[in-house]
């Protein structure tokens, strides 16, 4: 049986759209569990900034507060987290290149989305309109629910 998951890090590019939304949704769904949840970006452009206002807005419509500030992935994340989840294949490749040890399991987020089909990337809604943020929220909600099932099984 795989090791238990006690901590999860969601990773996207800038840590202001997809990964903070996944962090907030997972915290909301897993509030009764002792699960450490965080998010980070592979790029450092937005370090210290709050989530994109469009991510905050879609989360608030669903009763979820996004309070984290953007940060960049650190080497020690690979030791501190049991599971690091990339929001797309490009982020996964960046994480694999950054990794220099550590025991964290690396996975793609849409592995947990029952409606993913063959599309394994959560699209970055940054340059699109508000509908993209709604679509990403729905993907994140489905994926976090399935991820939570796996966490509880382990």
Catalytic residues: 12, 18, 124
SS3 150: helix
**C-alpha dihedral over 136, 139, 145, 150, to 10 degrees?**
-120
- The whole-angstrom separation of Cα 38 and Cα 3 is 19
92-103 exposure pattern, b = at least 16 Cβ within 10 A, e = fewer = bebbeebeeeee
- The whole-angstrom separation of Cα 113 and Cα 133 is 16
């Amino acid at each position: 049986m795989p090791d238990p998951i006690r901590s999860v890090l969601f990773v996207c590019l800038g840590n202001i759209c997809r990964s903070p939304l996944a962090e907030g949704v997972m915290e909301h769904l897993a509030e009764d569990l002792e699960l450490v949840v965080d998010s980070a970006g592979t790029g450092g452009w937005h370090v210290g900034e709050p989530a994109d206002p469009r991510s905050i807005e879609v989360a608030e419509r669903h009763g979820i507060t996004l309070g984290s500030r953007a940060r960049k992935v650190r080497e020690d994340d690979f030791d501190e987290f049991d599971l690091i989840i990339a929001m797309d294949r490009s982020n996964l490749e960046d994480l694999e290149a950054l990794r220099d040890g550590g025991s964290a399991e690396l996975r793609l987020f849409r592995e947990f989305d029952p409606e993913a089909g063959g599309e394994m990337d959560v699209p970055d809604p940054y340059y699109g309109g508000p509908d993209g943020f709604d679509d990403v929220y729905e993907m994140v909600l489905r994926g976090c629910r399935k991820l939570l099932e796996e966490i509880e099984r382990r």
